[in-house]
Amino acid sequence: MGVDANTLLRLTDLSVDFESHEGTVHAVDRVSFSVAPGELVGLVGESGCGKSVTANAILGLTRMVNNATISGAIDFLGRDLVTLPESEVRDIRGKDISMIFQDPVTSLNPVLSIERLMTEGLEVHLGLSHGDAIKRSIELLQLVGIPKAAGRIKDYPHQFSGGMRQRVMIAIALSCNPKLLLADEPTTALDVTIQAQILRLMKQLSREYHAAVVVITHDLGVVAGMCERILVMYAGRIAESGPAKALFGHPHHPYTVGLLRSVPRLNEPRKDSLQTIAGLPPDLAHLPPGCSFAPRCWLATEACWQQVPELFHTDAGRLSACFHRDKLIAGAEMPA
């Protein structure tokens, strides 16, 4: 597995299947992408598109699920996280790769003080003494903007507001100087004004620490202002990827076009009605044989129903999994 200096993480044909009563659920289906050191990547999609499962697989969390089958490779600095023994993954998890979860209310253990939550990783991964770990924790809390951090280290999560809890979580995630930070819907549970604070903080800290960040979200607006590169997922597969400005400016996949058209924007004139993507996302246990977006797509032809489109190279750094990408590149508009 060749990893050059410009690649921190490389996923190759990662698939995650879950056995269920309904049949096998193909949550992630042959997903490949890479992340460079310090890069800000947005992984966008609706619920059930496999974005969180992909993040959990990178962190080695899906291996703990009994009914999950993982295949493919997750190369992180020369080590394959799919086949690496759990004991070695444990050294990476929380240290080199850390995660910020969606809900700051349920993802911090309520019976542990902030001191315990913060110092655990520092002591286990960096081997600091408890005293040094507390000192470092206070510094980190100050860094993420918690006022009077020294006085609050003995407090419990319920004594913090939602935005402050998310800051504590970011402080914990950053405590061991990770090379890769996975942020799963980091601001979905927060208010607009707090969301702006947290996004700004994450971007700033990523620069300072040269940590790559993968932001997983359903909100196109969140990644537009923050990420350099965007990956759009649909029904377990990558539909489109590319640099943020190019992708938002001129999408090369009909699903991306539909997503962008169906949300009203503050910087555009009001419209009488919104354009919609017809129908529903597919059932992952019973995917259509061809392109999984074909049943909802306005460009779909016979070929789309029969064959799964591969990711085609369309432009500098851009990929699209659509047989009709040329029509979109040529400027085909979504019918109203």
The strand pair at 79-80 and 97-100 is best described as unpaired
Point out which residues pair with 320 in neighbouring strands.
Answer: 240, 312
Interface residue with other proteins, options 36, 61, 73, 224 (CB under 8 A): 224
- 3-state SS class at 152: helix
Cβ neighbours, 10 Å, residue 313: 10
Binding to other proteins (CB under 8 A): which residues in 132-161? 161
Of 163, 186, 242, 282, which lies in the binding site for other proteins, with binding defined by CB under 8 A?
A: 163
Q: How far apart are the first and last CA of the chain?
A: 47
Q: Taking the CA atoms of 91, 96, 97 and 99 in sequence, report the sign of the dihedral they define.
A: positive
Q: Does 204 bind other proteins (CB under 8 A)?
A: no
Q: Which of residues 226-245 bind other proteins (CB under 8 A)?
A: 244-245
Examine residue 218 and tell whether it contacts other proteins (CB under 8 A). Answer: yes
Binding of other proteins by 202 (CB under 8 A): no
**Closest CB 56 distance from other proteins, rounded Å:** 20
Stretch that binds other proteins, among 19-27, 123-131, 204-212, 215-223 (CB under 8 A): 215-223
3-state secondary structure at position 63? helix
Looking at 34, 155, 219, 285, which residue binds other proteins (CB under 8 A)?
219
Residues 181, 98 contacting (CB under 8 angstroms): yes
Out of 88, 109, 130, 200, which residue is the one contacting other proteins (CB under 8 A)?
200
What is the smallest separation between the CB atom of 246 and other proteins, expressed in angstroms?
7
Q: Looking at residues 258 to 287 of the shown chain, list those that interact with other proteins (rule: CB under 8 A).
A: 258-260, 262-271, 273-277, 280-281
C-alpha span between 73 and 32 (Å, rounded): 9
